[in-house]
Amino acid sequence: MGWENIFRRRVRVFTMALVIYFDYKAVQQREKWTSKSGHAALWEKAHERNAKRVLNLILEMEGLWVKLGQYMSTRADVLPLAYTRLLKLLQDSLPPRPLEEVYGTIQKELGKSMDEIFSDFVNEPLATASIAQVHRATLLNGKEVVVKVQHDGIKAVILEDLKNAKSIVDWIAWAEPQYNFNPMIDEWCKEAPKELDFNHEAENTRTVAKNLGCRNQSDRNMNANRVDVLIPDVIQSTEKVLVLEYMDGIRLNDLESLEAFGVDKQKIVEEITRAYAHQIYVDGFFNGDPHPGNFLVSKEFPHRPILLDFGLTKKLSSTFKQALAKMFLSSVEGDFVALLSALAEMGLKLRVDLPEQTMEVVTVFFRATTQANESYKTRKSLADQRTKNMKAIQEKMNLDQKEMKRFNPVDAFPGDIVIFGRVLNLLRGLSATMNVHIVYMDIMKPFAESVLSGYINKGPSVNDRWIFDSPVHSDVEAKLRQLLIELGKNDKVLGIQVCAYKDGEVIIDTAAGVLGKYDPRPVKSDSLFPVFSVTKGITSGMMHWLVDNGKLNLGENVANIWPGFGSNGKDAIKVHHVLNHTSGLHNAMTDITRENPLLMSDWDECLNHICKSVPETEPGKEQFYHYLSFGWLCGGIIEHASGKKFQEILEEAIVRPLHIEGEMYVGIPPGVESRLAALTVDTDDLRKLSGLTGRPDLPSSFQPQQIAQLATTLPALFNTLHARRAIIPAANGHLSARALARYYAALADGGKIPPPHSSASQPVLGSHPHTPKLFSSKKAPKNRKCFGRKELILPSTDNNPTGYEQVSSVEDLQDNSEGSSTNKDSNPRTRAAGKFFKNPKVIDEFLGVGEYENLALPGEGFGLGFKRFSSKDGSSIAFGHSGMGGSTGFCDVTHRFSIAITLNKMSFGGVTGKIVQLVCSELNIPVPDDFLRFAIEQGGPDEQLNMARPLIN
């Protein structure tokens, strides 16, 4: 290509880019002076004239610009109709090259005359594309083939076009910094030249055909993951000529022929998507150019996709392929922690601590397809979401408009993901063009799971580090670890922590397994587990702490403390009714959670709902488990009685006195994401639970069948950062077993703070430098008639700051060993032990016995906020609280014993029961009935008996 041609192409391309840019800028200005009813027409005309400009330029320039036009033509899901309609003409419909050029290339490359190669050669090309054109022919042996012939001089054109495209992208990034496409163009510049060597394409074609186990291949590969597609055999190849087996098929854009042959378009696109899922997740080697021109549909029944053109392929490393599968699956499950870990493994670095938006971005990435007629709605939705995200970033980082325009939240963008993203977008556009609806997550999930099956599910049988490497404190801990290994081998444990105190000393502190189904990082002593209703035991302790400090009276009417609560017949409800689950508001939150579970994260909305609720039974008469309402009832009382926030009281009453900083939260702050365990469900237990009959002690809206239904949805909800951030005082505790065991060890001694936790535990308990700063983005309105919060005046000192600390980054997730154990000296372990309850009869208060028995219903399961645990011989005083899924914490006052178990594979008592039974039996402590019933081997009639009362409270 001469310099004159190079200069001419550059001038034409840059001139057209400027014309289109300023045209759209002018439309933006005219829109301000046009009525809303005229906006659509204004933009439609602009899209039409600019689409024509783009098409004419591409037809003139050819080369790489045809590729760009083909890509744009497939994006019917997001591009205006004018572009996709006009640019479809570029799908193998370019003007053909002269036959003299075609013949010359073939004869030069193959070293023979046309008559020595073909018995017949069809001069009219089947298709003409950006790099080559294809002719049908018959070899001398009678085999029908297609001959792909590279355009003469196209290599120089493509390389020049890449330079021009790079320059335009650089200019756009300067003029409109929020549209920086440099990572995409850089990867394209690296990969596109590979298409110019047809030997490379021939080898790629053979590899993909073998990987997919296509039926027409000679090796007859029939592996279990084979997909039902066809790929032509390679007959011969050189750098510029490729001879392939001829396959008669219908083009995807020939909708009339597809209809005439009775082709199921939905099935075809699904099978193409499956083929790409196999290439990406199983093989790690995929075609990066799935535009409609690269597919046919076989005419004979069953109609199968025919995959063509493997010039642009991408090979992924095993590590990147696993990270890609992990990213996909974590987004499906809503497992935010695994998602950030996967992004870090892929090399994607974000510059801001807005990790909640990362899940939104990835969810958009894997969103289901939309049809072409919904493209405007899709574009608007994506634009609105982007505006919302960028506004949040601006507020978070305190950037002005100029700084925001130049801000890019992505610090490093891995090249491998660029082609992957291009493939997903092309497939999405293909679906829109054919007006079918594809749910990528459903189709791709099995393939992604197969990648990780040997990578993630490494239980104790194959992982000698499954038990976290920490000292064994006692003989009973050694036996416990053997039990955990047995449970792990039977797939009953994914990740778990167990900690126990006896006579004020730590006798067990064990962690084992992994943080999540798709997160193979090890569980450590300081990992944070969501524990559901175990949280109620912590909230109850806060209530009693306020009583102990004279801020609250058990016999006081709640309405006297909490303005507006007394409406709708609630004026007679007292504090002890709430703690004893006898307020009559056991179903108070049912409606709000059914209508929109996300409202559980809105503190004020939930307290308002409590205010408006109506009791179902007379206060103090009947005890029904307040499975959700308990938390917000207590939360509202705590904040109104103390004049402080719920989290502030948690820190003041429990966390700081017990020196468990960084390991007990109700609603996590930023900075701890890398330590979070992710929930999954034990499907065997769930199946058993769903078939059980009702329990009279539970509310009508919280019977076993409803619990089973909840268990299927709660992991996905509570794995999201949105839910984890929420203050849900009945269900959203995130803590370590050692923090919980220490809490109950203190309660067992009437509030006496135990000696420092074992220094053998690493990192040292309470050594985390992160301390949550109390912050609310919304100010409480004044003069509220029935709202959750009073207007609170919060101290603003160094010891009691007023905003959440922001210390996390994606890189933190790559630190699997030392990161969370830094700053050990910050733990003041020389602090003298004391008591955080002054009442000498506080244990009677917890249990609702002795002088407090008139405040609790006799013979019922709950005292004042805590579950009473009874043993067969009645020799022990024990109390605590368990949560749905199996986590638990309780203490035996008689034997000065406490234990906590946290786990992330939600079962309904079996695992927890066996652990408690082993530990108690080894220590000669009576096993509470709540756990004893799970200790026997399940099977036959006993199985139904044991499951009849699943461990949920």
Give the DSSP per-residue string, 51-113: HHHHHHHHHHH-THHHHHHHHHHT-TTTS-HHHHHHHGGGSSBSPPPPHHHHHHHHHHHHSS-
Band (27; pLDDT cuts 50, 70, 90):
confident
Q: Are 265 and 436 spatial neighbours (Cβ–Cβ below 8 Å)?
A: yes
Give me the pLDDT at residue 685, please. 61
* Per-residue pLDDT at 416: 62
Q: What pLDDT score was predicted for residue 775? A: 40
What are the pLDDT digits (tens) for 360-392? 555 555 444 444 454 455 545 555 655 666 666
Give the per-residue pLDDT at 5.
67
- When the pLDDT of each residue in the chain is averaged and rounded to a whole number, the result is 79
At 2, the pLDDT band (50, 70, 90 cuts) reads low
Give buried/exposed letters for 361-373 (b at 16+ CB in 10 A, else e): bbeebbbebbbbe
Statement: residue 785 has pLDDT above 50: no
For the chain, how many residues are written? 953
SS (H, E, C) 282-294: HHCEEECCCCHHH
Q: Which residue among 289, 335, 685, 749 is the active-site one? A: 289
User: Is the pLDDT confidence value at 290 over 80?
Assistant: no
Percent of the chain with pLDDT over 70: 73
Which is more confident, 302 or 32?
Answer: 302
**Confidence (pLDDT) at 630:** 95
> Could you tell me which residues are beta bridge partners of residue 772?
none
pLDDT: which is higher, 86 or 142: 142
Q: Output DSSP code: residue 280.
A: I
pLDDT of residue 822: 38
Looking at per-residue pLDDT, the higher value among 849 and 907 belongs to: 849
Task: Note the pLDDT of residue 11.
Answer: 82
704 band by pLDDT with thresholds 50, 70 and 90: low
Which of 476, 496, 471, 472 minimizes the C-alpha distance to 484? 496
888 in Cβ contact with 876 (< 8 Å): no
Highest mean pLDDT among 136-140, 591-595, 809-813: 136-140
Residue range 899-928: average pLDDT? 92
- At 784 the pLDDT is 33
Q: Confidence class of residue 819 from pLDDT cuts 50, 70 and 90? A: very low
pLDDT in tens, 447-492: 988 888 766 667 787 788 899 999 999 999 999 999 999 999 998 9
pLDDT attached to residue 945: 39
Residue 264 is predicted with a pLDDT of 94
Comparing CA positions, the residue from 852, 753, 862, 863 lying closest to residue 553 is 852
Contact 895, 916 (CB under 8 A): no
Mean pLDDT of 743-750: 96
* Model confidence, pTM: 0.70
Give all domains of the chain, ordered by start, each with its CATH number: 1-92+154-190 (no CATH), 99-152 (no CATH), 475-766+842-947 (3.40.710.10)
Mean pLDDT within 218-247: 81
Q: C-alpha angle 284/285/286, rounded to 5°?
A: 120
Mean pLDDT of 821-839: 55
Q: 647 or 89: which carries more pLDDT confidence? A: 647
Q: Give yes or no: 685 in active site.
A: no
Q: pLDDT tens for residues 583-608?
A: 999 989 887 766 676 777 889 999 99
Mean pLDDT in residue range 816-839: 51
Q: What is the CA radius of gyration of the chain?
A: 33
pLDDT confidence of residue 787: 35
pLDDT per residue as tens digits for the range 237-285:
999 999 999 999 998 888 899 999 999 999 999 999 899 999 988 899 9
Contacts of 176 (CB under 8 A, 6+ apart): none
Looking up tokens 């900083």 gives: 661
Beta bridge partners of 878: 869, 892
pLDDT class of 802 with cuts at 50, 70, 90: very low
pLDDT of residue 502: 97
Give the pLDDT of residue 817. 35
Please give the pLDDT value at position 330.
80
pLDDT at residue 176 in the model:
62
Up-side HSE of residue 518: CA atoms within 13 Å toward CB? 28
CB count within 10 Å of CB 496 equals 29
Distance, CA of 933 to CA of 948 (rounded, Å): 10
Q: According to the model, what pLDDT value does residue 82 have? A: 82
Q: Are 448 and 328 in contact (CB under 8 A)?
A: yes
The residue among 329 and 802 whose pLDDT is bigger is: 329
Cα separation, 70 vs 55, in Å, equals 10
Query: Which residue is associated with the tokens 């016995």?
Result: 849
Residue 682: predicted pLDDT: 75
pLDDT band at 827 (very low <50, low <70, confident <90, very high): very low
Instruction: Choose between 86 and 941: higher pLDDT.
Output: 86
The residue with greater pLDDT, 292 or 103, is 103
- Report the distance separating Cα 536 and Cα 731, nearest Å: 7
Which of the two residues, 545 and 520, has the higher pLDDT score?
545
pLDDT tens figures, 657-684? 999 999 999 999 887 888 999 988 876 6
The reported pLDDT for the residue numbered 438 is 78
Q: Phi-psi region for residue 331, left (φ > 0), alpha (ψ -120 to 50) or beta?
A: alpha
